Structure formats: structure tokens, C-alpha cells
Amino acid sequence: MSVEPSFCDLGFAKVDIGRKRRRGFSEVIYCPGKTKEQLKKIAQKLISNNQDLLLTKLEKATFSYLKKSFRGLKYNSLARLGYALGKDRACRKGLAAVVSAGTSDIPVAEEAAVTLEVMGNRVVRLYDVGVAGVHRLINNIDILKKAKVIIIIAGMEGALASLVSGLVSCPVIAVPTSCGYGASFRGLSALLTMLNCCSPGVAVVNIDNGFGAGYFASLINK
């Protein structure tokens, strides 16, 4: 039985052009550690195979270099994401909410939100509604209850995920961030709080991993 090739071998990278068919979205390019030339060649191979293009942790200077070759490439400087969309992109009907505890958490929140949007989801953003002023969150409870999935972005002690999960019926994805003072250990304290969440229905991704949360939320919304 012959097997249809599902990747393109570039020598330094084996580009998974079958992933969009398997998972519903193309292979995503993690930029750190790759040269500009490598990123360009990988992106060219994806686009030539009618794949969506999403580059995470992309620096502005590298985006400017790639933009010369890919005119449709867009950039979100807060999220540090570059993206260009292929054809036949499905739109999810469910609403995904991205909630940040503080303003310092917004870059990670934007990474999650833009990932969701690029993957075809309807997104609502609620920023700076952390537990230090819980009335700010309660004032938006109607929006949260309309969501099919919620992403919580929080540093410091990371308590917001447990609070929100106790108020809604949908799945919650918690993202600890590296925001905080010394004993936060660059997000470890928030990570441990979220892993020990007493409210059921909370999944936790890695520190500052807004992309991972957005991708997972899109699968739920699918």
C-alpha cells in the first residue's frame, strides 16, 4: 500500500503539509532559533501548498524581512505573531472569550486572541479584570456566560482562573504568565495555583503560552 507524502523535506526542516487536513489548521512556525532564511523557506513551502501561515514569537525586524517576500503577511506587535490566511477558512460559530487579569498580561492574551482569530473563531477580549478588583469581572459576567470557551491569562498568584470557572458552565483554559515579583518565580507560582484549581473544568497550559491556549480553545470551539 502506497502512502501519500504528508511532508516536504527541506533538509533543515520537514514541513508537515498534511497537518491542515488532519487537524484543521496548518503547521505553525515557532520562530526563535531559526534563521530568517530558514523561516522564509518554510513559509514559502506552506504557502505554495495552500496552507495558512502563522509565525509565533516573531520579532519585528524578522517580520520586516519576510514581508518583502510575502505581501499578505500581517503582524501583531503585542502578540509577536505574523500571519497570512489561505483559502477556504471555516468560521466557528461559538464565542471564545480571552480574559486577562492585568494590563501586563495583555501580550500573552493577545497571542491567544490573535491565534483564535486566525483559526476562524469569534473572539471577545476582556482585559484588566483581575481579582484585585473583582467588580470589574462581575460587571462582564453576561459576556462570559455567552462564551463557549474562556481563556484566562494571569500572573501573580493566578487566582482568576478558579474564580471564573466557578461562575460559568463552559471549559476554561488557564495561562500562567511570568508577570509578578520575586516569589512568583517568573510564573511558577501562578502555574501551581492553576494546576491546583479547586473548580473543575480548568485545563492549564505552560507559562506565557498564549498560542497553545488559543489553539486548544479553537479545538473546543470546533
What is the gyration radius of the CA atoms in the chain, in angstroms? 18
pLDDT of 76 higher than 60: yes
166 found inside a domain:
yes
Q: What is the pLDDT of residue 1?
A: 43
Among 51, 84, 117, give the residue marking a domain's end. 84
Residue 221, helix vs strand vs coil: helix
183 SS3 class: helix
Quick one: pLDDT at residue 40? Answer: 92
Which CATH number covers residue 139?
Answer: 3.40.50.1970
**pLDDT at position 47:** 86
Q: What is the mean pLDDT of residues 73-95?
A: 82
Query: Look-up: residue for cell 494546576?
Result: 195
**Res 2 pLDDT > 70:** no
Are 41 and 10 spatial neighbours (Cβ–Cβ below 8 Å)?
Answer: yes
Identify the helix (H) or strand (E) that includes residue 29. Answer: strand 29-30
β-pairing verdict for 149-154 and 95-100: parallel
Q: With 0.85 as the threshold, say if the pTM is over it.
A: yes
Co-location of 65 and 121 in the same domain: no
pLDDT above 90: residue 108: yes
Last residue of a domain, one of 64, 84, 104: 84
∠ CA 165-101-75, rounded to 5°? 110
What residues contact 157, with CB distance under 8 A and at least 6 apart?
180, 184, 189, 190, 193
180: closest CA among 139, 114, 132?
132
> Does residue 89 lie in a domain region?
no
Kindly state whether residues 152 and 199 are assigned to the same domain: yes
Would 39 be classed as within a structural domain?
A: yes
CA dist 157 → 61, 89, 109, 135 (Å) = 34, 38, 17, 18
A 10 A CB-CB count for 110 gives 23
- Report the number of distinct structural domains present in the chain: 2
Distance of CA 188 to the CA centre of its chain: 19
75/101 same-domain check? no
Does residue 1 lie within any of the structural domains?
no
Residue with cell 469569534: 122
Closest of 217, 219, 221, 213 to residue 56, by C-alpha: 213
| 26 and 133 housed in the same domain | no
For the beta carbon of residue 69, count every other beta carbon within 10 angstroms.
11
DSSP-derived secondary structure for 17-63 = TTHHHHHSSPPPEE-TTS-HHHHHHHHHHHHHTT--EEEES--HHHH
Domain hosting 202: range is 95-221
Quick one: 211 and 141 in the same domain? yes
Task: Output the pLDDT for position 86.
Answer: 64
Share of the chain above pLDDT 70, in %: 95
Q: Is the domain of 131 the same as that of 166?
A: yes
Domain boundary among 56, 84, 112: 84
